[in-house]
Structure formats: C-alpha cells, structure tokens
Amino acid sequence: MDVHSGVLEPGLPCYTLGSGPPLVVLRWFTPDHANPSGWELRSELKAVGPLARHFTVHAVGRSPGLADGVTMADLAAQLAEALRGRFGEPVDVLGMSSGGSLALQLAADHPDVVRRLVVAGAAVTLTTRTREAQRRYTEAVAAGRRGVHHQASLVGRTPLSRAFFGTLMWLIDPLMRPRDPLDMLRFARAEDSFDLRGRLSGITAPTLVVGGERDLAYSAPLFEETADGVRDGRLIRYPGASHLGTFTHPRFAHDVAEFLGR
C-alpha cells in the first residue's frame, strides 16, 4: 500500500493512502508532531489501512512548535483553516482517541467543515484516570525523565498487569522519546481542559461514537453521553475490546464505512 507523506497547510503533518472519497483521520496521541515512520507507521496502518479500501485517507497530526497555552479551540481553528483550504467543502472526519477530542471540538466550533463525524475511543471529556496518566507522562518526559510507564494504568486492568506493562514501558522508554517533548506536553495540557459537556447539542453533523467495552481510557457512560448529546448520534460498542483494540477490531473499518455511506 502506497503511503504519501506531506503537509496540510498551514503546517499540519499529513500522510495519504487509498482511493475513493476523502476521509480525514485525526491521529491519536503521538510523541512527535510529525508524520510517522518505521514501527509507528506500521502500528497506525493496522487501524488506518483497512479504511483505505473505501476512502482516500488523509491522516492528519498536530503542528510542530505549539505555543505555550494553546487550547483545543486553537487547534480546531487551525485544522478548520487547513480543511477549508484543502477541500473547499465539508468532509467526513474520523477522530481516534485524542484525535477524537479534537474532532468533537472541530465539529462544535466549525460545523461548516464537517460532513459526518466518527469519534472512536474518545468522548465528550477525559476521565480522571486518562487525564492523570497523560499529565504524569508528558511532564516527566519534558523534564528529561522516563515517563511512558505512567500510561500503564490505561493498559493493565489488574495490579499485576499494570506492574508488568509499567516495567515493559519503562524499559522501552528511550526508544519512544519525542524530538520536542514540549509539543507533547502542550497538547496534553490543551486536552486536559477539554470538556464539551453543555455544547454537544450544537454539533449538527451526524455522529457515530465507537468504543470498546473494556476501554480503560474512557468509560461506557461517557461514550453514551457523547452519542446521546449530539443532535444525530449513534453508538457502537465492541464487546471485550480495549482502547487500542477498538481501532483494530475486525468490524471497525466496515462500521465506519457503512456509517459514512460507503
């Protein structure tokens, strides 16, 4: 499968693959604000690749060099500008994990750029668990310490499994260090205050929320609140699926394509 790396003006890293109508995929939380390569790209393609059978996928990240104090509204405004310039009409948007937070902000603030919306592994706000894990992770890395093991609470369901994953993450941390840890930290701080409760009814784009039954980063009530709160919402929950397992579920690409009319 051919993957073409580029930039979506005014400076958002973007890679494209597949054929068909456009689908903008807002990428999950990433250490670097750059197009992925190597193992990182291979990991993303497990989720994004099957969608390329139905769409021309435009996988968009966050811009490098984020300003201190940047907000999700600021990021959504930059993204809206890029999408208007690239497509000139409303486009289907899929947000995965942290990309789902940004997708909801985009649909709430800039409804003219979103045709239909899919929010996968994300919801109207973060849980306390996720907020704390991201804060500890990004602050440690920004201070020059190992930090990815703080994400173990979002992977392990028991004390033993969290200890196992925490140890493994601590060992591989040097292989996952970002080139500019401040980008990761500033995005995490923007998402830390993300909360669209009270604004969901203003989202007019038909919306599909997809969540895993065993997602530790979010919760079933939050998925339900998000789908129920928008004007035209639908919820699909995958039994037994974890947070990352949502994106690689055998039905994920099919369900997204079916909802978007493919």
Average pLDDT, integer, range 60-87: 97
Instruction: Look up residue 57 and give its amino acid.
Output: V
Cis peptide, bond prior to residue 13, ω within 30 of zero = no
Q: Average per-residue pLDDT in the chain?
A: 95
Give the position of tokens 């193992």. Answer: 39
Contacts of 30 (CB under 8 A, 6+ apart): 36, 40, 61, 62, 184
Query: Does position 176 have pLDDT exceeding 90, yes or no?
Result: no
Measure Cα distances from 21 to 13, 82, 99 in Å: 20, 18, 20
The pLDDT tens digits for 13-63 are: 999 999 999 999 999 999 999 999 998 999 999 999 999 999 999 999 999
Q: How many CA atoms lie within 13 A of 162 on its CB side?
A: 10
Is the pLDDT confidence value at 262 over 70?
Answer: no
Q: At what angle do helices 181-192 and 72-87 cross, to 10 degrees?
A: 110
pLDDT band at 175 (very low <50, low <70, confident <90, very high): confident
Q: Which CATH class is domain 4-124+195-259?
A: alpha beta
pTM: 0.95
Q: Could you tell me if 100 and 120 are in contact, meaning their C-beta atoms sit under 8 angstroms apart? A: yes
The helix (run of H) or strand (run of E) holding residue 228 is: helix 220-229
The predicted pLDDT at position 71 comes to 98
Domain ranges of the chain: 4-124+195-259, 129-183
Give the dihedral sign, CA 251/62/74/147.
Answer: positive
CA 100 to chain CA centroid, nearest Å: 5
